[in-house]
Amino acid sequence: MILPDYTGGSIVNLMSSIEQGMGSEFELYPAAPALPVSELQECDNIILLVVDGLGYDYLSTIGNGSHLHGHLKASLTSVCPSTTAAAVPTFLTGVAPQQHGFTGWFTWFREMGSILAVLPFQTRHGGCSLGQLGFTPGVLSDTGTTFHRIQARSNVVMPEHIALSEFNLAFHDGANIRSYKGMDNFFSVIKNSIGDNQERDYVYAYWPDFDGLAHSWGINSPNLAQHFAEFDAAFGRFVQLMQGTGTRIIVTADHGFIDVPSSGVVQMKDHPELADTMVMPLCGEQRFAYSYVHPGKIERFQQYVASELSHAMDIYSSSELIEQGWFGLGSPHPELESRVGHYAMVMKPGFKIRDRVLGEKPKRHIGVHGGVTPEEMYVPLIVVDC
């Protein structure tokens, strides 16, 4: 089990280094020793390139010998859970889930009276857009953004299909949003986001395709290896083009991956006695699920997991995880406890748990994340000085 190192070795500490290196006085989390603030203060520009799903383990094995691996400086931990819905808000706000309050793909928001899919900002059942109802993801977090705190011109480089989503508009406030379509255009837009050095530039660039292929084909698939090779070659060309611009390129990820075979899928529909102990469907992630247990059925819940599912999961009191710092340090978001349920089902290697609501279409993911294995939790810190 690997837990986030919020004292200096996680992606939230990376964000502290970047913020302080670009003039922010915000110091809720300490800077990352692997990327000293003094080094970043000397840069004209900083590019943070997030490759969704590129774990440290993958880069060190399959990616060994690549351009990206050649600039590998250290490993960092993700946040908990190790998933995009919790980690990407950390890149945008500079704080951990403890403060920003986003704790998984499906989250119960008590103030909305609904389970939402956070990043598309829609209801789990029916896929209704909350943006169309006049709500914004910002009210569910109530944290500032990195772009408002740093002393630099900010640009966000996002895929065309999500560039102007409700979530991006809320958490990229203070930055110029630039969209792209395709790999070559991705690096071209990043390069064109760097100005004439009359003002410092900060660019946050997000690449999602590695994650999508890892979900569909698995972390060890040839399809993913081919994509990585193509991306790495494009990155190598990009680095050459950026030489002499006074730019520091930082590459990291939100999480890594493991593969789970079909035999390792725990279906809640196959465990009606367990489902009967709960007051709502499971939330969070398939590798880190939040259970909301009926107060009169807690003992039945614990006994069933111990007798029938202990091979697949460990369960923890969610309130104790908050106290132990799994989600971050310092004062928690006022709704954090309601968003992580009563118990967290932390899945063991090779397992995930799936719970569906009526009308929800199943998705078969071979590659998964969200848990606390080294492969899921460790991400690379890649630094290139141009």
d(CA 41, CA 62): 34
Q: What's the pLDDT score for residue 134?
A: 65
Closest CA to 381 of 17, 91, 71, 18: 71
The answer to whether 241 and 85 have CB atoms below 8 angstroms apart is no
Reported as type and span, the H/E element at residue 153 is strand 153-159
Residue 66 half-sphere exposure, CB side, CA atoms within 13 Å? 23
CA distances (Å), 83 to each of 39, 87, 89, 126, in order?
29, 6, 10, 23
Which pLDDT tens digit goes with each residue over 328-355?
A: 999 999 999 999 999 999 999 999 999 9
State yes or no: cis peptide before 81, omega within 30 of 0: yes
Full DSSP string of 250-296? EEE-S---EE--GGGEEEGGG-HHHHTTBSS--EEETTEEEE-B-TT
Boundaries of CATH 3.40.720.10 in the chain?
11-259+372-385
Residue 358 CB neighbour total at 10 angstroms: 7
Contact 221, 257 (CB under 8 A): no
| Model confidence band, residue 125 (pLDDT cutoffs 50, 70, 90) | confident
Give the helix/strand (H/E) hosting 45. strand 45-51
pLDDT tens-digit profile of 243-290? 999 999 999 999 999 999 999 999 999 999 999 999 999 999 999 999
Please name the helix (run of DSSP H) or strand (run of DSSP E) that holds residue 57, with its range, or none.
helix 56-60
The tens digit of pLDDT for each residue in 33-42 reads: 999 999 999 8
11-259+372-385 homologous superfamily = Alkaline Phosphatase, subunit A (3.40.720.10)
Strand 247-252 with 378-385, pairing: antiparallel
Q: CA torsion, points 255, 258, 261, 267, in degrees to nearest 10?
A: -40
Alpha carbons 169 and 137: distance in angstroms, whole number: 9
Residue type, 302: Q
Separation CA 279–CA 273 (nearest Å): 13
pLDDT, tens digit (0-9, with 9 covering 90-100), for 52-97: 999 999 999 999 999 999 999 999 999 999 999 999 999 999 999 9
Q: What is the pLDDT of residue 165?
A: 85
How do residues 110-124 score in pLDDT, each as one tens digit? 988 888 888 887 777
- pLDDT at residue 133 greater than cutoff 70: no
Cα 110 to Cα 342: distance, rounded to the nearest angstrom: 14
Q: For the chain, where do the domains classified as CATH 3.30.1360.180 start and end? A: 262-363
What pLDDT is attached to residue 127?
63
Q: Does domain 262-363 have CATH number 1.10.287.70?
A: no
CB 274 within 8 A of CB 305: yes
Residue 362 has pLDDT above 80, yes or no: no
pLDDT of residue 360: 76
Nearest to 349 by CA among 313, 307, 309: 313
pLDDT for 157: 97
> 311-329 pLDDT, tens per residue?
999 999 999 999 999 999 9
Is-contact 256 379, C-beta < 8 A?
yes
**Which pLDDT does position 210 carry in this prediction?**
98
Q: Please provide the average confidence, as pLDDT, over all residues in the chain.
A: 94
Integer-rounded Cα Rg, in Å, for the chain is: 20
55 contacts: CB under 8 Å, gap ≥ 6: 219, 253, 255, 256, 257, 375, 376, 378, 379, 380
Q: Looking at 26-35, 90-99, 362-371, which range is the least confident one?
A: 362-371
Q: Compute the CA torsion angle 142, 137, 364, 232 (nearest 10 deg).
A: -80
Look at residue 229 in the predicted model and tell me its pLDDT.
98
Beta bridge partners of 104: none
CA dist., res. 185 & res. 165, Å (int): 20
pLDDT number for residue 131: 65
The pTM for the full model equals 0.95
Write the CB contacts of 262 (distance below 8 Å, at least 6 apart in sequence).
none
